[in-house]
Amino acid sequence: MNNKILEVKKINKKFSNFHLNDISFNLPKGYIMGFVGPNGSGKTTTISLILNMLKKDSGEILLFGKDHIVNEDIVKNDIGVVFDSSFYVDSWTVADVEKANSLFYKEWNHHTFENMLKRFELPKKQKIGEFSKGMQMKLMLSCAFSHNAKLLILDEPTSGLDPVTRNELLELLQEYIKDGEKSVLFSSHITTDLENICDYITFINKGKIVFTDNMEKFLESFKVIKGKLKDLTKELEKDIIGIRKSNVGFEGLITSDKINKLKGFVIETAKIDNIIIALSKVGD
């Protein structure tokens, strides 16, 4: 049986000023995948292609083992989506939002929706246009959680949330995948969120996938290297990714396979931020 909830295979999409190039990654059942990259790297475009909001030039996207266009109405019943800004009519109330969602989802659960509203303390009579960005985000999340979706696709869901709610969302996501049947594709700029909850990570830069595998491997693949300028040889400088020099020394990222031969340098465990910042500089 296919264990993959989402399979993206060599998708391409050309715009006049941007090219999404041979994007491939898989999301297994029961895990959370962080989808990271700098602004304009192609995260939202990839998500739009997965949701068939954009027409791909080539490649294949499978959701639950089925083609995402041929079986669009079937597969989307099992997907919950949250974007970085609200997609509900601003004159609607929460009741209208529920009416709209319940029309399209077979397993819409009013009870779950009510619980989510209570949990997030969302007012029922206020118009959506009067909601703060954080409240709108919570409402989208409430809907995404209320129709028994097997895959959540979240595009920058934490961007409008305060730290407490962000933490609450992360807990919710962990709770959500607990049964091993559901998965989350989570695009975010706030990498500390990803570090805490993601099992897999896909890093995209300038329309190309730089890395896609499990988080442990991602973090183990790179180390932060620090040292004095006098110790920085030309050969070593070539190996260092995203090097930053100052009067006191240098700092950068190096692949883990190269650290054994190095002596007299400070080698530290890399964080997602270190890796992303350094890798984003490659090719600049």
Partner 1 sequence: MKNITKMMKLDFLTMKSQLGLYLVLIFIMAIYVYMDSSIIVLSITCSWFIALLFANIFAIQDKNKLNRLYSSFSIKLKDIISGRYAYIFLNFLISLLLLNIIHFIVMLLLNNSPILLEYCLGFTVSFLVFSLIIGFQLPIYFGMEYTKAKIWTMAPYLIVMSIILIPSLLTSFSNIMEFMVNNKIILFIVSYSISLITIFISYKLSLKTYQNRY
Residues of this chain that interact with partner 1 (CB under 8 A) are: 15, 48, 51-55, 72-77, 79-81, 83, 85-92, 96, 99-100, 103-106
- Considering the complex, state which of residue 147 and residue 206 has its C-beta at the smaller distance from partner 1: 147
Q: Report in angstroms how near the CB of residue 120 gets to partner 1 at its nearest.
A: 19
Q: Is the Cβ of residue 129 or residue 228 nearer to partner 1 in the bound state?
A: 129
Shortest separation between residue 77's beta carbon and partner 1, angstroms: 4
Question: Whole-number minimum distance, CB 183 to partner 1, in Å?
Answer: 16
- Decide whether 103 or 248 has the Cβ nearer to partner 1: 103
> Which DSSP string do the residues of 205-264 spell out, in sequence order?
ETTEEEEEEEHHHHHHTEEEEEE-GGG--HHHHHH-EEEEE-SS-EEEEEEGGGSTT--S
**Closest-CA residue to 51 (of 73, 68, 29, 32):** 68
Residue 107, classed as helix, strand or coil, is coil
Least gap, CB of 115 to partner 1 (angstroms): 21
Label residue 26 exposed, middle or buried (CB < 10 Å: 0-12, 13-18, 19+): middle
User: Shortest gap between Cβ of 60 and partner 1 (angstroms)?
Assistant: 18
Of 45 and 280, CB closest to partner 1: 45
For 163-204, what is the HEC assignment?
Answer: HHHHHHHHHHHHHHCCCCCCEEEEECCCHHHHHHHCCEEEEE
> Judged by CB, which is closer to partner 1: 136, or 280?
136
